Chain A
Amino acid sequence: MSSLVTRVRLKQIEQLIEKGKRLDERGLRDYREIKIEQGLIERAEGSARVLLGKTEVLVGVKVETGEPFPDTPNEGVQTVNAELVPLASPNFEPGPPDENSIELARVVDRGIRESKAIDTEKLCIEPGKKVFIVFIDVYVLNHDGNLIDASALAAMAALLNTKMPNYEIKDGELKIKQGYTPLPMKSHPITVTIGKVNNYLIVDPWLEEEQVMDSRISFAFNDDGNICAIQKGGSGYFTPQQILEASKIAREKAAELRKKLDW
């Protein structure tokens, strides 16, 4: 991956961060500009596009019917899939999902699932037999770093935009009626990723910073400001003090974003 950025430039990024500055003139704890657009794919029950700086993620939500899991017969099913589509980066290849896209999907899934964002009990049609399945498909369109936060934001924005078909049950048969109702939601998780460059913690690392940083940690927070999912990534480490500091920074940033988004 690092072939596209010269070592000189990586060194420059590193030295700037040590002085509390960044190449794109952000502060160490600033997000890039965030733009959210909802409902741009009419065929999908819900959709949203998030621009996080130049990182661009499109999420489409499809709602279909299917069988519930045997251990949760009264609950609808949530599934997240992520595609790192080849048009998003010279480093993405077509083919089955690799470990990066699987990790991305599972981290996004965990934030939504553990915060109980979707009210899955309201998605039950017939206990043990028929429930609604919410397919959340994350499509990365342009990779410029911090795919986790951009994808988590886009997934939530798409879910908030999702409309479910009205239905009734007649003689055990599901009949779709006219009109739509919003997908029942209970919480609005927000995920914040902190990168570690040498011993400095930075919020929202972009692509070139990702190549200098030795590890990252993502925290998802629910509406109450409690932590609902964590994922450390990258081949470096954090000291226990850094973990706690990162969790505090992430919590503040999540609260800030929540206010801005009015979630």
Chain B
Amino acid sequence: MNEKPEKLIDKKGIRLDGRKADELRPLKLQVGVLSNADGSAYIEHGKNKILAAAFGPREMHPKHLAMQDRMVLRCRYHMAPFSVQERKSPAPSRREVELSKVIKESLEPALFLELYPRTGVDVFVEVLQADGGTRCASITAAALAIADAGVPMRDLVVACAAGKIDDTIVLDLYDAEDKLGAADVPLAFMPNLNAITLLQMDGILTPEEFEKAVNMAMDGCKKIYEMQKEALKTKYMVVKEVEE
């Protein structure tokens, strides 16, 4: 990593990568990218490149983990060894175990778990390249993969972070801003239900700054939500035309 720059955001409110405070990185979303998975999605969020695949609802393995009254959602968030500057050991780190758990808990509220007793849905997320905000991009992609698998959902789940660099609240931090900035607030949201399904924070924020960051992250989520729907339509509208 280079020397720490003096300022992460200049007087005109432009960030090191040229974005304004409330501007998202460029996004690309694609649905149905893997042929063996029941559902899959690929996301490029800035320099993040992430694949998500969903399998199920299917029989649980091992069987004793099945629940008699509901479906079990399992998630695995995993980073490829080559996804970061210094090679990451492929064995799951404590960070990955925690993220797998919070990603699962961010997706569960979207599913009708009680309608599919004794079954399981597995979601696998592979981070191929990381540049800050991978948990959020993973959730956005995982929700698409589950939708692509045809699992009924209350709403899509979309995630985005806000944070604080220097003294400014900004949207969608990339790696350098995350590491050198003052705070990071990843948030997952179901826009149609007005429901926050993931919220974490590290760094220091006053209560006022926190409220501003939450609102900014939700606005960011709403923009990505439109792209998510577009990505689903791109796959499924084409099929419809062929049938006609």
Q: Which A residues fall within an 8 A CB radius of B?
A: 71, 97, 99-100, 102-103, 105-106, 110, 113-115, 215, 217, 222, 225-240, 243-244, 247-248, 251
Known: A99-B98, A106-B98. A231 touches B200 (CB 8 A): yes
- Shortest 9 CB-CB contacts between residues of A and residues of B: A237-B195, A230-B201, A235-B108, A232-B199, A99-B101, A237-B109, A237-B197, A102-B97, A114-B202
Q: How far is the CA of A227 from the CA of B101 in the complex (A)?
A: 23
Q: How far is the CA of A238 from the CA of B210 in the complex (A)?
A: 16
A-facing residues in B103-123 (Cβ within 8 Å): 104-105, 108-109, 113
Q: Which B residues fall within an 8 A CB radius of A?
A: 1, 94-95, 97-98, 100-102, 104-105, 108-109, 113, 185, 190, 193-207, 210-211, 214-215, 218
Task: Pick 17 A–B contacts, CB within 8 A, sort by A.
Answer: A102-B97, A102-B101, A103-B97, A114-B203, A115-B204, A226-B207, A227-B201, A227-B204, A227-B210, A228-B203, A237-B193, A237-B195, A238-B195, A240-B194, A240-B218, A243-B214, A248-B207
Q: Are A239 and B204 neighbours in the complex by a CB distance under 8 Å? A: no
Q: How far is the CA of A217 from the CA of B204 in the complex (A)?
A: 17
Known: A99-B101, A232-B198, A237-B190. A227 touches B205 (CB 8 A): yes
List the count of A-B residue pairs having beta carbons below 8 Å apart: 95
Contacts of B194 in A (CB 8 A): 239-240
Contacts of A113 in B (CB 8 A): 202
Contacts of A248 in B (CB 8 A): 207
Contacts of B214 in A (CB 8 A): 240, 243-244
Contacts of A71 in B (CB 8 A): 1
Contacts of B211 in A (CB 8 A): 244
Contacts of A100 in B (CB 8 A): 101
Of A102, A234, A247, which is within 8 A of B207 by CB?
A247
- Give the residue name and chain of the A residue nearest to B1 (CB): A71
Contacts of B215 in A (CB 8 A): 240
Contacts of A103 in B (CB 8 A): 97-98, 101-102
Q: How far is the CA of A228 from the CA of B100 in the complex (A)?
A: 22
Kindly provide the distance from the CB of A244 to the nearest chain B CB, expressed in whole angstroms.
6
Kindly provide the distance from the CB of B180 to the nearest chain A CB, expressed in whole angstroms.
11
Q: How far is the CA of A227 from the CA of B197 in the complex (A)?
A: 19
Kindly provide the distance from the CB of B171 to the nearest chain A CB, expressed in whole angstroms.
16
Q: How far is the CA of A206 from the CA of B63 in the complex (A)?
A: 31
Of A226, A228, A235, which is within 8 A of B109 by CB?
A235
Q: How far is the CA of A248 from the CA of B205 in the complex (A)?
A: 14
Q: How far is the CA of A225 from the CA of B209 in the complex (A)?
A: 13
Q: Are B196 and A99 neighbours in the complex by a CB distance under 8 Å? A: no
Known: A227-B204, A228-B204. A239 touches B98 (CB 8 A): no
Most chain B C-beta atoms within 10 Å of own C-beta, residue among A103, A105, A227:
A227
Kindly provide the distance from the CB of A9 to the nearest chain B CB, expressed in whole angstroms.
17
Q: Are A229 and B199 neighbours in the complex by a CB distance under 8 Å? A: no
Kindly provide the distance from the CB of A209 to the nearest chain B CB, expressed in whole angstroms.
18
Q: Are B203 and A233 neighbours in the complex by a CB distance under 8 Å? A: no
Q: How far is the CA of A222 from the CA of B194 in the complex (A)?
A: 30
Q: How far is the CA of A227 from the CA of B98 in the complex (A)?
A: 21
Of A105, A228, A230, which is within 8 A of B199 by CB?
A230
Q: Are B102 and A102 neighbours in the complex by a CB distance under 8 Å? A: no
Q: Are B201 and A229 neighbours in the complex by a CB distance under 8 Å? A: yes
Sample of 8 more A-B contacts, CB < 8 Å, known A106-B95, A237-B190 = A114-B203, A217-B199, A227-B205, A228-B202, A229-B202, A235-B108, A237-B193, A237-B195
